[in-house]
A and B are shown apart, each in its own frame.
Chain A
Amino acid sequence: MRATTEAEAKSDADLVAAYRGGDESAATELVRRHGVALGRFLYSAGAAPADVDDLVQETLFRAFRRLDGWRGEASFRSWTFTIAGNLLKDAYRRRKGRTMLSIEDRDIPMHADPHAELAASEAEERLRDGLARLPRLQREVFLLRVQEGSDYETIAAALGTTPGAARVHYHHAVKRLKELVS
């Protein structure tokens, strides 16, 4: 327990340094810290629910394999999000641009009011579909801003753009989502 507490107190940069020094528990803490957020990002960006766990693992594999690529300009989390974005882009390309969502992938839990649950689920799928249809930068800026609460400077550093451009991408995303979703 004590080791976990110590790891929790460390910054991401400290954990990366510890992992490089051979401390594998630092890698576990990084997974604990960012795995779920990565999963949410991938799911929101259109990954099929059944694929999310595998995509999280693939993203983390790529991240740990080339940790030298993270130089700390962006947060570790947003850096892994860009790796996840690349993975999704490859997956979209393999599927020839079709969205990764499919009716079979919908997880519709049992609920006291199945009609209300179905409506909520359909609204959620429509939103995910809308997000998946956005250009990549718009989608990633929007998700980093809305789900992670990142400011435009952080987003710009992660995505290799400027804060001004990130703001423009955000507003384009909002405009298109309002049209696609409402």
Chain B
Amino acid sequence: MTACERLSDRMPEVAAGAGWSALEAAHLSDCADCAAEWDVVRRTAALGAGFTMRQEPPAIARAVLDRVAEAKCAERRRSGIVRRAVGVAAAASVVLAAWVTLHRPHAAPAGRGANAVPMASTGRPTASDSAATLTLDIAELDGLSTAELTDLLDRMDLPLSTGRTVDPSGAGDLTHDELERVLRSLEG
């Protein structure tokens, strides 16, 4: 059976201070559904009525605004770190792409061919292996001249067996100008 809802819409108003009409009051005293609903509404309206905050509004506002300012600072710091990380990753990808491009047999720049050491002789994967698995074409490298690319790669072309590692923070032995040029070419 559906519960009586005759007084439902009036209950929040009455709980807020408006009175029942005589007719409504008469219904309420005779209807168990409405009486039970009114009990729940009346008590809910009064719930927490005596609540007060421990601090005054100006102190709460100060604390909240200080936290907002701190959060914004932290957000700016985080986005700065992300930007730097993206820059480092981009530079690393250009260096990797340059290495791959110049070790492909069909992409060896003119003037380097005769002096190029076959990769197989170093014990590293052969150029044809690299070409078969890595086919990165980096448009940004087009901005560099053959001499610049050769110079860049000669400086990077360290046999892994020597135990030396490329220092990512210094990008190997690149001069500041060379590194700048690579990064500028990436940014277009």
Contacts and interface: CB of A to CB of B under 8 A. Distances in A.
A182 B47 contact: no
A174 interface: yes
A158 B11 CA distance: 21
B44 A43 contact: no
A53 B55 contact: yes
Interface in A55-97: 56-57, 60-61, 64-65
Contacts of B8: 170-171, 174
Interface string B23-47: 0000000000000110111011101
A147 interface: yes
Contacts of B37: 174, 178
A24 interface: yes
Interface in A163-182: 170-171, 174-175, 177-178, 181-182
A27 B64 CA distance: 9
A52 interface: yes
Interface stretch (B65-73, B85-93, B143-151, B173-181): B65-73
Contact of A64 (B43, B57, B65): B65
Contacts of A24: 61, 65
A143 B48 CA distance: 12
A40 interface: yes
A27 B51 CA distance: 21
A16 interface: no
Contacts of A143: 44
Given A57-B60, A147-B44, A174-B37, A65 B71 contact: yes
A123 interface: yes
A36 B51 contact: yes
A163 B168 CA distance: 60
B15 interface: yes
A56 B43 contact: no
Nearest to A176: B40
Given A36-B52, A146-B44, A31 B61 contact: yes
B165 to A, nearest CB: 44
Contacts of A57: 60, 63-64
Contacts of A174: 8, 37, 40-41
Interface residues of A, number: 40
Contacts of B13: 149
Contacts of B12: 145-146, 149
Interface in B1-33: 3, 5, 8, 11-13, 15-16
A56 B60 contact: yes
Nearest to B52: A36
Contacts of B51: 36, 39-40, 43, 52
A140 to B, nearest CB: 13
Which of A56, A64, A143, A146: most chain B Cβ within 10 A?
A: A146
23 contacts: A24-B61, A28-B61, A35-B53, A35-B57, A36-B53, A53-B53, A53-B54, A56-B60, A60-B60, A60-B61, A65-B68, A65-B71, A123-B43, A127-B44, A143-B44, A146-B45, A147-B44, A171-B8, A174-B37, A174-B40, A177-B40, A181-B39, A181-B40
Interface of A: 24, 27-32, 35-36, 39-40, 43-44, 52-53, 56-57, 60-61, 64-65, 123-124, 127-128, 131, 142-143, 145-147, 149, 170-171, 174-175, 177-178, 181-182
What 7 A-B pairs are tightest by C-beta distance, nearest first? A32-B57, A40-B48, A28-B61, A43-B48, A31-B57, A31-B61, A44-B47
